[in-house]
Every structure is written in C-alpha cells, then in structure tokens.
Amino acid sequence: MKNLLYLFFLCESFLGVASCRPEEDETHHYKIHVENDWSKGVFIDYSCSKYDTIYTTNGSFDPEECLLPDKTTHLSIGSRTTWENFFSRPDNDTLHMYLLDAESVFTRLDKSLLVRYDLSLQDLRCLDWQITFPPTEEMKDIHMWPSYDAVVQKYQD
C-alpha cells in the first residue's frame, strides 16, 4: 500500500510538472495581454498571414469568448510556444490582430471591425506585451487601420 501511494504521488508530480507552462521572462513570452477599455464588448481574432490585411471569417464567434468592458484576456499560440519563437519563423514578421464590435458581429459582420493592429515583435516589446482597445497614447506609432487618430476620435468614451 505504501508503494502504491508513493507511485501515485510520483505520477501526480510528474504530470503536474509536465503540463505546466514555463515561467515568462525577458525573452520568453507566452501571452499577449489584451485589455478592453471601451464601453462595449469586443471579439478578438488574429492572423499571421502576410497577405491577410482584409478581415474575413467563417462567422463563428462564441459569446463566451467576448471580452467585456474593463476586462483583460490573454492571447497565446500554444501551451509551450513563445511569441518570440512565432516571430522567428521566416513568414511571421507581423501579427494581424482584429478587434470586432460584439454587438454587430452576429448581424453586420461587414460593419463590426473596430480596428486592425499590425504588430511586430518590436511593437510588442515596446508595449510590454500589453494591447488596449481603444489604443493608448503608447500605441500611436503602431501600424493600425483605421489610423490611430481616427480610432481614438471614434471610440474614446
């Protein structure tokens, strides 16, 4: 019985360690923090394609994934893959992040795009891995569409 308990404890310990994501540090980031400072809910989608500057989707958004006002979520690409590793691949120099109005995404997808952020590894480092909608002053030099000034003017409460 004692050996059986020891074996159980050993297995639990191994499974716990094997499933844990390593800690983030200066060169290993597993999450991009996305904060919604707008008065309405938003959906977040992203693409890695160099040619994906026009937003298209299959239209399947889960209401449970809506980022509510004054809330933060985390964007990751796998349990053990860092964003630095993602950007080190030859075809991945830009992450296109799309923020969509949760109220209109189900009825008028063509009118739901709030902003597209085109993020590089350098951009994310400068922003300390924190993205906000509407964009903050620290984000004014990030490539986005519509422009920073247009987005701020339209969506600042």
Q: What pLDDT sits at residue 61?
A: 83
Query: Which strand (E) or helix (H) includes residue 14?
Result: helix 2-19
The model's pTM is 0.79
In this structure, is residue 73 part of a structural domain?
A: yes
In this structure, is residue 60 part of a structural domain?
A: yes
In this structure, is residue 7 part of a structural domain?
A: no
Phi, psi (degrees; rounded to nearest 5) at 63? -55, -25
**Chain center to CA of 31:** 7
Cβ burial 31-70 (10 Å sphere, 16+ → b, else e): ebebebbbeebbbbbbbeeeeeeebeeeeebeeeebbeee
**The total number of structural domains that make up the chain:** 1
In this structure, is residue 133 part of a structural domain?
A: yes
In this structure, is residue 89 part of a structural domain?
A: yes
Q: Distance between CA atoms of 107 and 54, rounded to whole angstroms?
A: 19
In this structure, is residue 44 part of a structural domain?
A: yes
The CA dihedral of 15, 83, 124, 145, to the nearest 10 degrees, is: -120
In this structure, is residue 144 part of a structural domain?
A: yes
Domain that holds residue 101: 30-155
**Chain center to CA of 1:** 48
Q: What pLDDT sits at residue 11?
A: 45
Over residues 101-134, the pLDDT tens digits come to: 999 888 887 788 999 999 999 999 999 999 999 9
Q: With contact defined as beta carbons under 8 Å apart, do 127 and 117 qualify?
A: no
Phi, psi (degrees; rounded to nearest 5) at 2? -65, -40
Q: What pLDDT sits at residue 69?
A: 96
Between the alpha carbon of residue 127 and those of residues 17, 100, 147, the distances in Å are 31, 21, 18
pLDDT in tens for each of the 157 residues of the chain?
Answer: 444 434 444 444 444 444 455 676 667 788 899 999 999 999 998 887 766 556 666 567 888 899 999 999 988 877 678 888 888 888 888 999 999 999 988 888 778 899 999 999 999 999 999 999 999 999 999 999 999 999 999 997 6
In this structure, is residue 95 part of a structural domain?
A: yes
Tokens representing 120? 């590089």
